[in-house]
């Protein structure tokens, strides 16, 4: 087995607030192999963004309580001093965000901003930095890159801004690119362009990519491995086919049956939403956090916290139901729909 | 120039009422926003052609979906129909009555029949008012319920949309996003309108909550025989809720069809590109999908392209016809019209072998 690029072990992130302790990430472990695309799916407040912001060292507020290990190429990022993590951030791990307008500085030319990130990490002259920035804009498919580099962010459309952000994120040839809802603010045709671009650049730069999203369609088309998060925990993790065609967790089933599908043939089939609301992260339900909304719960579910277990070494789920039950329910109630 | 929509050509398949009755009739509706220069003496130097000649019929009890990318004019069209903007040209009829220039009391009475649900339940509810007061406002404005009975009516509405009536005195911030959207729905329903314009009603919500709100909208439609104009950029959502779907591009309707027909046999290359770009949550089907990839961005609506507005980005464009002659909406499959000189073949984006 290959040495994982990133290995997260029992990561916990908690924020003390006036109302109590917010358990944003509640003990997650996973790893990313070189060249892999990982999709992280979950709803607002599931901890999917916080866990990767922590990997990037961006949740180091004075009050946040962070436990666990984040091993990147064998080095624990959580214990690195701030100066050293800055060397890793940007050059080895970089991140793009949902809203490219707020991630670019409105007062500086786009080329200057990309050149600056290059010059922070590499000893190059201003002019060389700018040349590299233009080259990167060209590689992300921005037409007339020399001209574009001299423009300001407001002169770019949403899709072009996101391309510029990707150019900046990849300018130092990182090993891992984390994309947090990279296309949520974009139109579908532009979304498709950006996702194709990420696929292509991932090959060219030989990087691993994490796509954090709430869109199960994006994940189905672009990710190799998927992990589903709920209330700060990973509830299911597996290869793309495992999660879509043989899912083992009632929350994933709920997600799959709540989305309207473009390819459903009978018109106006009724959606089957998950009942209730996601829990407060201050008062996470005892036992399995999903049990109050789960139609298949039984006695054990409000007492024991299910651990993320695997039967075959790669497909894992955190649910007390027996494997036979999971397979039966998925076939009868979830797959039957599509 | 006027585009005649022949959507009645062929069979009407949309509404669930046996005898479709016309509720809204738009003919040649335009909305231009002037661009001005100068401070004291403002000169008009150009116009943003937000909506540029739209004909649309909406029948009682049906849901018409309106899709298109940012800036295609779908929200402007809804606001013109609501009479929140005045149309620059064209006519709007509601139940056979011309409401294009209606003002004063007539307009206020019209608002009882047409209501709107907005995208952002955080911005569309006044944070300083209690939920009871927000939902009760329409009653107070229209004086149709005596003040003493407003509370009872409001609580009934709250129950109807799945809110706890005991939360009458709570403020919007005490509710989650999905519950806030329910408050917006209750407010829109208060006057028992005939038409509800839903402008991206579920875009800000998480998937599981989105499904709850969509089901609620469907139930209410059944119960009150509501008509919806449903605007969203999420095509899967639009297809799910709509009887007929209209695709807009740069201020014009380029195709209109029954949802299933549109998905299986889109005729306009823009509809095809839009549909093929929607990610499908099924890895095998996603792999079988044929993609029509669009280059570039939507052109500026200030100076839209000549001929067919889509020709600069269209993979099928043939010159000079597409750049000279504006295509008219023509019937294709039953209940489908599209404006294209060189329409797509049937099943252009679905791979037959995938067995969809």
Let me know whether A171 and A259 are in one domain.
Answer: no
**pTM of this prediction?**
0.87
Let me know whether A68 and A121 are in one domain.
Answer: yes
CA–CA separation, B279 and A216 (whole Å): 8
B216–chain A Cβ distance below 8 A for any pair:
no
Let me know whether A74 and A166 are in one domain.
Answer: yes
pLDDT over 80 at B137, yes or no: yes
pLDDT over 50 at B10, yes or no: no
Report pLDDT for B356. 40
> In this structure, is residue A13 part of a structural domain?
yes
Rounded to the nearest angstrom, the minimum Cα separation between B183 and chain A is 16
> In this structure, is residue A1 part of a structural domain?
no
Let me know whether A159 and A82 are in one domain.
Answer: yes
Rounded to the nearest angstrom, the minimum Cα separation between B260 and chain A is 7
Q: Do B280 and A219 touch (CB under 8 A)?
A: no
> In this structure, is residue A189 part of a structural domain?
yes
Residue B18 pLDDT grade (very low, low, confident, very high; cuts 50, 70, 90): low
Secondary structure (3-state) at B335: coil
Report pLDDT for B8. 42
Q: Do A267 and B260 touch (CB under 8 A)?
A: yes
Number of domains in chain A: 2
A-facing residues of B in 125-184 (CB < 8 A) are 176-178
Let me know whether A123 and A161 are in one domain.
Answer: yes
Residues composing chain B:
356
pLDDT over 70 at B3, yes or no: no
pLDDT over 90 at B252, yes or no: yes
Residues of chain B with Cβ-Cβ distance to A142 below 8 Å are: none
Token code pair at residue B22: 């016309």
pLDDT digits (tens, 9 = 90+) for B41-91: 888 888 999 999 999 999 999 999 999 988 899 999 999 999 999 999 999
ipTM over 0.90: no
Rounded to the nearest angstrom, the minimum Cα separation between B237 and chain A is 6
Let me know whether A252 and A191 are in one domain.
Answer: no
Residues of chain A with Cβ-Cβ distance to B178 below 8 Å are: 277
Report pLDDT for A6. 95
Q: In chain B, what are the domain boundaries?
A: 22-38+46-113+194-354, 125-192
pLDDT over 80 at B117, yes or no: yes
Q: Do B207 and A262 touch (CB under 8 A)?
A: no
Rounded to the nearest angstrom, the minimum Cα separation between B354 and chain A is 11
A-facing residues of B in 263-322 (CB < 8 A) are 263, 273-283, 285-286, 291, 293-294, 297
Let me know whether A285 and A151 are in one domain.
Answer: no
Quick one: angle between helices B207-224 and B177-189, nearest 10?
20
Q: Are A12 and A67 in contact (CB under 8 A)?
A: yes
Query: Which residue in chain A is spatially nearest to B272 when comparing CA positions?
Result: A189
B-facing residues of A in 164-203 (CB < 8 A) are 187-193, 195-196
Task: State the residue range of the domain holding A185.
Answer: 6-223
At the fourth CATH level, which superfamily is domain B22-38+46-113+194-354? P-loop containing nucleotide triphosphate hydrolases (3.40.50.300)
- Relative to beta strand A65-72, strand A75-76 is antiparallel
pLDDT digits (tens, 9 = 90+) for B257-289: 988 889 889 999 999 999 999 888 888 888 888
CA distances from A39 to A29, A48, A63, A216 (A): 15, 10, 29, 9
Q: Which of B68, B200, B279 to mutate to test the interface with A (most CBs of A within 10 A)?
A: B279
Q: Which of A189, A190, A245 to mutate to test the interface with B (most CBs of B within 10 A)?
A: A189
CA distances from B35 to B44, B46, B90 (A): 6, 5, 21
Show the low-confidence residues of chain A (pLDDT under 70): 1-2, 60, 264-268, 336-338
Let me know whether A202 and A293 are in one domain.
Answer: no
Report pLDDT for B190. 92
Report pLDDT for A2. 66
B-facing residues of A in 241-280 (CB < 8 A) are 241, 244-245, 254-256, 258-265, 267-274, 277-278
Q: Do A43 and B215 touch (CB under 8 A)?
A: no
């Amino acid at each position: 087995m290959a040495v994982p690029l990133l290995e997260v072990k029992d990561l916990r992130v908690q924020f003390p607030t006036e109302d109590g302790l917010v358990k944003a990430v509640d003990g997650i472990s996973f790893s990313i192999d070189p060249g892999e695309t990982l999709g992280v799916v979950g709803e607002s407040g599931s901890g999917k963004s916080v866990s990767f912001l922590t990997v990037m060292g961006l949740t180091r507020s004075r009050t946040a309580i962070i436990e666990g290990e984040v091993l990147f190429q064998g080095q624990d990022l959580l214990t690195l001093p701030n100066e050293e993590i800055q060397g890793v951030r940007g050059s080895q791990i970089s991140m793009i965000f949902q809203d490219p307008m707020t991630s670019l500085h409105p007062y500086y030319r786009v080329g200057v901003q990309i050149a600056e990130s290059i010059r922070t990490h590499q000893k190059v002259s201003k002019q060389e930095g700018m040349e590299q920035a233009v080259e990167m804009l060209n590689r992300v498919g921005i037409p007339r890159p020399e001209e574009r580099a001299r423009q300001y962010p407001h002169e770019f459309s949403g899709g072009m801004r996101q391309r510029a952000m990707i150019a900046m994120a990849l300018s130092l040839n990182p090993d891992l690119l984390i994309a947090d809802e990279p296309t949520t603010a974009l139109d579908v045709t532009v979304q498709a362009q950006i996702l194709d671009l990420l696929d292509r650049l991932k090959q060219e730069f030989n990087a691993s990519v994490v796509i954090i999203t709430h869109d199960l369609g994006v994940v189905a088309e672009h990710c190799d491995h998927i992990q589903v998060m709920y209330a700060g925990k990973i509830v299911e993790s597996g290869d793309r086919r495992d999660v879509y065609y043989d899912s083992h967790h009632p929350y994933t089933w709920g997600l799959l049956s709540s989305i309207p599908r473009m390819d459903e043939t009978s018109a106006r089939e009724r959606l089957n939403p998950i009942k209730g609301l996601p829990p407060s992260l201050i008062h996470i339900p005892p036992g399995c956090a999903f049990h109050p909304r789960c139609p298949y719960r039984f006695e054990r579910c409000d007492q024991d916290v299910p651990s993320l277990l695997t039967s075959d070494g790669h497909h894992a789920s955190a649910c007390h139901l027996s494997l036979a039950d999971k397979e039966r329910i998925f076939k009868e109630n979830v797959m039957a729909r599509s | 120039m006027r585009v005649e929509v022949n959507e009645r050509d062929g069979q009407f398949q949309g509404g669930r009422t046996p005898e479709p009755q016309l509720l809204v009739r738009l003919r040649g509706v335009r909305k231009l926003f002037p661009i001005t220069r100068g401070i004291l003496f403002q000169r008009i130097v150009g116009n943003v052609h937000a909506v540029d000649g739209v004909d649309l019929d909406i029948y009682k009890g049906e849901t018409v979906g309106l899709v298109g990318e940012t800036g295609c004019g779908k929200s402007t069209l809804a606001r013109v129909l609501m009479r929140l903007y005045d149309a620059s040209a064209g006519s709007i009829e509601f139940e056979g009555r011309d409401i294009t220039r209606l003002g004063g009391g007539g307009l206020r009475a019209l608002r009882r029949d047409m209501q709107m649900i907005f995208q952002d339940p955080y911005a569309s509810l006044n944070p300083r008012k209690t939920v009871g007061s927000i939902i009760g406002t329409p009653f107070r404005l229209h004086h149709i319920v005596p003040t003493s009975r407003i509370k009872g009516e409001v609580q009934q509405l709250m129950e109807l949309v799945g809110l706890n009536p005991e939360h009458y005195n709570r403020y919007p911030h005490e509710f989650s996003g999905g519950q806030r959207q329910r408050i917006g729905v209750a407010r829109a329903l208060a006057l028992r309108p005939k038409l509800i314009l839903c402008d991206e009603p579920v875009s800000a919500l998480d998937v599981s909550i989105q499904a709850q709100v969509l089901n609620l909208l469907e139930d209410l439609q059944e119960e009150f025989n509501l008509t919806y104009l449903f605007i969203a950029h999420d095509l899967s959502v639009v297809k799910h809720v709509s009887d007929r779907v209209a695709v807009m591009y740069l201020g014009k309707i380029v195709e209109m069809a029954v949802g299933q027909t549109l998905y299986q046999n889109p005729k306009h290359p823009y509809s095809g590109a839009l549909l093929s770009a929607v990610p499908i949550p099924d890895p095998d089907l996603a792999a079988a999908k044929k993609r029509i990839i669009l280059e570039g961005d939507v052109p500026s609506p200030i100076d839209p392209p000549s001929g067919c507005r889509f020709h600069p980005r269209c993979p099928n464009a043939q010159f000079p016809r597409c750049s000279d002659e504006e295509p008219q909406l023509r019937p294709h499959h039953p209940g489908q019209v599209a404006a294209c000189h060189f329409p797509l073949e049937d099943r252009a984006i679905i791979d037959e072998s995938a067995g969809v």
